[in-house]
Structure 1
């Protein structure tokens, strides 16, 4: 039996909304966009990272510098050399459902094999000029623009891989480029947060790439208002442990005020060959199934008490296994886990414990006195789950029990639930389950 105990009279640290996303509702089809926007609105997403946007919006010139400023030889001071329309539409819709924006300056990943836009900028000063005009368009009204007050501006993505699909240069070249660009942008826009670099290899926390980047920023006195990294894994404890380790290294190198953002993450059981269709199909099915839902619920629950400032799930849109929705706009399991978590954020946090290492639990009290409980059982054996309150008779309360079951279905459980010794008990099959339990006063 796995036992969860809730302590309604013991207040805990306040919940933090750190459940950000990559990508917004795509704007390539108006009806589809409305459906996904309505779904995303319900999650109260605190921040949306704008990366890989053209890949999710075929035919649209979005976000990437080569999309917004397509003619590299053109004059960056002339308005007519910028194409803002598609990004304007995309941002307007994104902001309409209540989120904020992190703008990734640079380029999307390019799997085509050609990668025409991933080389280090030939003229870093011109690149900064273009980026600065993009900032002015969205924050200061330049070129019939807006006053969106976008605070977070990220420089590039996964250059530490030194892969041509991301960065056709060396890591040393990128560090120098980042330091130059970050200093220049910060001097022009001191009110903004400038950061990066969305490292892909952060799991090697003492590796030379991470330390060399920090040394470069320190020695060149480049701003690093927020540090971004990526982590794809099927081991929640590994992901949960990373922020504390990153915090220690940042502090050691003099970046004690730098925020930590996990700017891409998803349940991922391994990469393998992209050409192995059978393996990829199985992997993508697992990435949107019950393991994925329990995984993200576990990570975000534990992150409440870790030194991390924001996360960006990859992705909050459509797109195979890396998504919250099918290509038809149907929510995958992970969407409902985010919905459960969002409902927890609306409560005052109270203490909760569980006696099993493969599980997590959060609890909170709503203004009307309802107690909400979010529990994740990630890849656990068949067992009984028992929920109890430290004080009060659980049998005198009304209750509602919703789960993302081991078969991937979201359902309300009403049968095969028993009460023993002031505990609500039901059986869980072998696999992963996410539980959302409500206790209300009679």
Structure 2
């Protein structure tokens, strides 16, 4: 492909297929009693068409030790008594998610980083889990009117000493208790885990070891979850490589019917990592488009809130908008991608594997074309000594050093130096007509609607600027 400053992108409105359902997010929905500092994210989530929200970042996790903010604060309490549970904040967030028409993926995990210990009494732990699920799926103790149907166990048990302080066997036993608890409530509920942190570490206890335990004990695993951030590569196509590797592992272990769930994704996750909001936003859009052509079944952008973290006490670099919820390029990227990747997918050509990404869709009487021009920083293009990324996580006075295997470095990540795009749309449902084009960009500028002429064959052409670290959404309406 010749590297010119203008790229021609061709959309064929007559060639339709389905979008993959990948519009999930993780994050805190908004303020609740006791936590007024969280901005209300539900208007943005509604605008972005979010379909499912992962609950792990919510305040009330299920701790394995006494904790007043835990879903079960006191382990000496009666697990059969509704008064023993602390459902208030989580109930409010479940209702907030349901109010925008989205589902909840309820994650059962400890109150990290304060506690990473395994359950002391696995049988009691299972009884508590059962009542929590009975509350959220069967209305026990005043549970929500709309039942939660999706449950995940664990969150990064392989993340060094930070997320799980027990042996793999302890984690396996807790997963068995979790599955048995779910089955006692409703065997038709969807379950999975373990939200693997280091997806490419082979023969690992929480990858092959976990799968072997599940298979040997005939436990359900409707989805296998993992996370991936690109601090070490800055490459939107990491997800294609990692997903293929994990799909192969699942199939090899007999889990051919188990879905692959990307429980977290974003550009940067290490607190010391940084990049301009426009660069992050362009990456988000390029990745949202790239995910459509992976073997991933479900995906959750992390984090679709202000980044305020109620557990670690800092502002997470993965958030969107300002700390008060004021939108920025990251917020708009979430919205543009969510609006565009819905309805019926249309064939789109002209993108590349360097960060110039294009997708198109038709939703009712609206045709949308989404384009991103993400440019990887020079640091990502320098030759690596090895496909390994090491980093430090600050936890109080501690500096925890960790490392993970990366996908092979791709020379195609180097920028194609595109500065503008010519968008050609063919076989539109309108002929010999004037349609209206509205162009929305990451910086919040909305241009139009401008009149555009559609030819007798149903074709039109638009020339648009597309500088590095930008993305646009073109919406065509009659």
For the superposition of Structure 1 and Structure 2, which TM-score range results when normalised by the shorter chain? 0.7 to 0.9
Determine whether 1:410 maps to 2:430: no
Looking at structure 2, the residues matched to 4 and 348 of structure 1 have their Cα atoms a distance apart, in angstroms, of: 18
Q: 1:183 to 1:253 in 2, by over 3 A?
A: farther
Deviation for aligned residue 1:210: 1.4
After the TM superposition, which residues 16-415 of structure 1 pair with which residues of structure 2 at under 5 Å, given as runs?
A: 16-28=20-32, 35-54=40-59, 62-65=60-63, 66=67, 67-110=70-113, 115=114, 117-163=115-161, 165-204=162-201, 207=204, 209-233=206-230, 234-268=234-268, 271=270, 280=272, 283-286=273-276, 289-319=277-307, 320=315, 321-358=317-354, 359-368=356-365, 370-379=366-375, 380=415, 381-390=417-426, 397-404=435-442, 409-412=443-446
After superposition, give the CA deviation of every residue in 1:99-121 in whole Å (9 maximum; x if it has no partner).
Answer: 111111122421xxxx3x32010
Say whether the 8 Å CA contact 1:120–1:174 is kept in structure 2.
Answer: yes
Alignment counterpart, residue 425 of structure 1, candidates 442, 463, 478: 463
Structure with bigger helix share is: 1
Looking at structure 2, the residues matched to 265 and 34 of structure 1 have their Cα atoms a distance apart, in angstroms, of: 21
Deviation for aligned residue 1:174: 1.7
2:398 is aligned to none
Determine whether 1:437 maps to 2:474: yes
Looking at structure 1, the residues matched to 39 and 198 of structure 2 have their Cα atoms a distance apart, in angstroms, of: 36
Say whether the 8 Å CA contact 2:30–2:40 is kept in structure 1.
Answer: no
Q: 1:222 to 1:31 in 2, by over 3 A?
A: closer
Please state whether the residue corresponding to 1:230 is helix, strand or coil. Answer: strand
After superposition, give the CA deviation of every residue in 1:218-269 in whole Å (9 maximum; x if it has no partner).
Answer: 112221111111101121111233223222221111111111111111111x
Deviation for aligned residue 1:397: 4.7
Deviation for aligned residue 1:347: 3.5
Let me know the Cα RMSD of the aligned residues.
2.8
Say whether the 8 Å CA contact 1:205–1:246 is kept in structure 2.
Answer: no
Deviation for aligned residue 1:206: 5.7
How does the TM-score come out when normalised to structure 1?
0.83
Q: 1:291 to 1:251 in 2, by over 3 A?
A: same
Looking at structure 2, the residues matched to 9 and 173 of structure 1 have their Cα atoms a distance apart, in angstroms, of: 54
Q: 1:208 to 1:134 in 2, by over 3 A?
A: closer
Looking at structure 2, the residues matched to 44 and 304 of structure 1 have their Cα atoms a distance apart, in angstroms, of: 16
Please state whether the residue corresponding to 1:311 is helix, strand or coil. Answer: strand
Say whether the 8 Å CA contact 1:228–1:260 is kept in structure 2.
Answer: yes
Looking at structure 2, the residues matched to 133 and 391 of structure 1 have their Cα atoms a distance apart, in angstroms, of: 55
Looking at structure 1, the residues matched to 325 and 241 of structure 2 have their Cα atoms a distance apart, in angstroms, of: 33
* Paired residue total: 405
Q: 1:74 to 1:398 in 2, by over 3 A?
A: closer
Looking at structure 1, the residues matched to 226 and 184 of structure 2 have their Cα atoms a distance apart, in angstroms, of: 24
Looking at structure 2, the residues matched to 394 and 63 of structure 1 have their Cα atoms a distance apart, in angstroms, of: 58
Looking at structure 2, the residues matched to 207 and 168 of structure 1 have their Cα atoms a distance apart, in angstroms, of: 16
Please state whether the residue corresponding to 2:207 is helix, strand or coil. Answer: helix
Unaligned runs of 5+ in 2: 1-5, 308-314, 376-414, 454-458
Unaligned runs of 5+ in 1: 55-61, 275-279
Say whether the 8 Å CA contact 1:24–1:94 is kept in structure 2.
Answer: no
After superposition, give the CA deviation of every residue in 1:261-315 in whole Å (9 maximum; x if it has no partner).
Answer: 11111111x73xx6xxxxx3xx3453xx122222222222222232222111111
